[in-house]
Amino acid sequence: MKISMQKLGRICLERKTSLSEVLVQSQVSRNALYSLARKDSVLPRSIDAIAAHLNVRVSDFLEEEDVLVAKSRLLLRMVNRIAEKHPGIDRDNIRHMFLLLEEKPVERLRRALVRAQKPDIR
């Protein structure tokens, strides 16, 4: 299985974002991506060998991690990275800010205004 830069570019276009922005948000360097893209397979040779022997596609015996789980892991990695560089920063603030930056500005403002309203406690 190899990386298709064309498919990646198309997805970025559909999401109205740039590859540069995606790399920043995923904390992946450009060098790392292009190095992987040059390989004939991004999987270990042993996995390709097993698939070839069984005459199946590797995707037939690979399971994808749940998207939400993968996203959460990535978010926590980013939180850890920033927290390590800035020990005084509140981790919750880092996490909330990353989540807010995924929203459009108008949504960020709505959340700030809604949270400031008096709670309806029954």
Could you list the residues that contact another protein (CB under 8 A)?
Answer: 20, 23-24, 27-30, 82, 85-86, 89-90, 92-94, 96-98, 100-101, 104-106, 108-117
Spatial distance between the Cα atoms of 19 and 31, rounded to a whole number of angstroms: 13
Query: Minimal distance in Å, beta carbon 114 to another protein?
Result: 6
6 vs 117, which CB is nearer to another protein?
Answer: 117
18 vs 59, which CB is nearer to another protein?
Answer: 18
47 vs 83, which CB is nearer to another protein?
Answer: 83
Query: Minimal distance in Å, beta carbon 16 to another protein?
Result: 11
Say which amino acid occupies 41.
S
One-letter-per-residue 3-state SS of 40-99: CCCCCHHHHHHHHHHCCCHHHCCCCCCHHHHHHHHHHHHHHHHHHHCCCCCHHHHHHHHH
